Amino acid sequence: MTTKTMHTNISTSKDKLMEDLRLVVADAEELLRATANQAGEGATVARARIQKSLQTVKEQLVDAEDAVIQRTREAAKVTDQYVHDNPWKAIGISACVGAIVGMLIARR
C-alpha cells in the first residue's frame, strides 16, 4: 500500500466520520427547533442544556478535525521522507506486503 493510498483511505474515513457527526448535530438542532414551542420549565431548561452541549460538541468537532488533519499531514511527510531516504527498503517492504496480500487473496 502506497503512502498516497494510505493517505486517501485515512482521509476518506475521517471525512465520513466528520460528516456523520455533523449529521447528528444537525439532527439534534432540528429536534430543538421542533420542540421550541413545548411549554414548561423543564422543557426550557432541557433545551438550554442541549443547546449548550451542542455548541461544545461543535467546537470539539472543529478542534478534532484540525488535529486529525495536522497528524495526517505529519504522518504523510514522515513517510515520504522515509521513502526518499530508504527507497530500496520501501520497495522491499512493499513487495513483501504485496506478496502477503496476494497469498491471502489466493487462499479464498
Condensed to tens digits (0 to 9), the pLDDT of residues 30-88 reads: 777 777 776 677 667 777 777 787 778 778 888 888 888 898 899 999 988 988 998 99
Separation of CA 52 from chain center = 24
Answer whether 72's CB lies under 8 Å from 91's CB.
no
Q: Which of 30, 90, 78 is nearest to 54 (CA)?
A: 30
Model's pTM, two decimal places?
A: 0.48
Angle at 59 between CA 66 and CA 70, to 5 degrees: 5
